[in-house]
Amino acid sequence: MKATSSKIYLAVVGPSRPRESILELAERTGTEVARAGAILLTGGLGGAMEAASRGAKRAGGVTIGILPGPSRRDANAFVDYSFPTGMGEMRNALLIRAADGVIAVGGGVGTLSEIALALRLGKPLAGLETWQARVGGTAAGIKQAGSPREAVAAVIEALRAAAGEDI
C-alpha cells in the first residue's frame, strides 16, 4: 500500500479532553511519526490531536488536520494544512480513509469509532492505552504497543508487509 507521494500518512487519534499522561503520550507519538518521515493526520482540534501535532512539528514533521467544522480557523496552531469538512463526527471516516495506518492514543467514543473504521477498512492499527477490541473472544487487529516508537514501527512494518516492498 504505497502512498501516491511515496510518503506514509499516519493518523493519530485520541480524545479532545484527555488526562495529562495521554497528552504526553500523544505528543511523543507525533514526534515519532515525524522522525519516521511520515506525514501526521489528525482531527485537527485540541487535546490529543493538538499534542500529536505539536510533537510532529517540533520534530520537523508535516501535519494535516481533517476538521469537523466549516472553518480553517478551528485548527490547532500546529496544523500545517487544514481541511474543514463541515461534517461533524462524520469527518472521522475521511480521516481514517486518508490514512495509510492509524495509532490510537487513549480515547473516548470518538476514538472508538475511528478504531472501528480502521478495522473495517483493514488499516494497520496500533494502540497506546486505548480500547481493546475482541470478536468472539479473539483480539481484533489492534496491536497494543508499549511505547510511541513501538506503535509507529508496528504500523509502518505492517504497511511494508502488506505492500511486499519497501515504502
Residue 28 lies in a domain: yes
CATH code, domain carrying 16? 3.40.50.450
The answer, yes or no, to whether residue 5 has pLDDT greater than 60, is no
pTM for the full model? Answer: 0.92
Q: How many domains does the chain have?
A: 1
What are 27-85's pLDDT values in tens digits?
999 999 999 999 999 999 999 999 999 999 999 999 999 999 999 999 999 999 999 99
Q: Report if residue 3 sits inside a domain.
A: no
Q: Which residues of 44-67 are buried (b: 16+ CB within 10 A; e: fewer)?
A: bbbbbbbbbbbbbbebebbbbbbb
Q: How high is the pLDDT of residue 43?
A: 97
Predicted pLDDT at 1: 42
**Per the domain annotation, does 42 fall within a domain?**
yes
Has residue 2 been placed in a domain?
no
- Degrees (nearest 5) of the Cα angle 19, 124, 3? 110
* Domain that includes residue 24, residue range: 9-163
Task: Average the pLDDT over 100-117 and give the result.
Answer: 94
**Does residue 4 register a pLDDT over 50?**
no
Q: In the chain, what is the straight-line distance between the N-terminal and C-terminal CA atoms, in Å? A: 8
pLDDT digits (tens, 9 = 90+) for 113-155: 999 999 999 999 999 999 887 766 555 788 999 999 999 999 9
- 104 contacts 81 by C-beta, under 8 angstroms: no
Residue 1: inside a domain, yes or no?
A: no
82 occurs within a structural domain: yes
